[in-house]
Every structure is written in C-alpha cells, then in structure tokens.
Amino acid sequence: VHGKLEDAKKELKDEIDAEKDLAMKEGRNDGIEQGIEQGIEQGIEQMEILIQHLIINSRSDEIERAVTDKEFQKQLFEEFGL
C-alpha cells in the first residue's frame, strides 16, 4: 500500500511539473508556481489525514482503493469532512 501511495504521489508530482512548465511557457508569473506547490502540499496533507481517519476507524483495508479510485476518494473526503 505504501508503494502505491508513493507511486500516486510521484504521478501527481509529474503531472504538476508538466503543468508548471506549460504555465511558464505561457508567461505566467511566479504566483502560479507557488500556488501549485501549495496545492500539492495541501493535497498530500488531505490524503494523509484521510488515511489516518481510515486507520483510526479500523478501515485500513480501504486505503489502497482510496489512493487508486478517485470517485471513492471523493466519497471518503465528503464522509470525513475533508
């Protein structure tokens, strides 16, 4: 499960890196880069909190699906008020 979470984080980072390159090519200012970095940090923090909620609620078996299934992830975010 940890490996899959790391893979998901790397995939997200790669996607964001590509978006940052595009933003720079379009001449956007440094505020975009800072906003993206903050968004990544917030997203990672949100996933960490979600995983903690699943563990605390004896639902560790749902972690893998939460990391790989975006719709399920959204449902869990709503369920836990994240």
pLDDT category, 75, cuts 50, 70, 90?
A: very high
Enumerate helices (H) and strands (E) in the chain, giving the number of each.
Answer: 4, 0
What pTM was estimated for this model as a whole?
Answer: 0.59
* Length in residues, the chain: 82
**Average pLDDT in the 6-14 region?**
82
- Express each pLDDT in 12-59 by its tens digit: 888 888 887 776 676 666 777 788 888 888 989 999 999 999 999 999
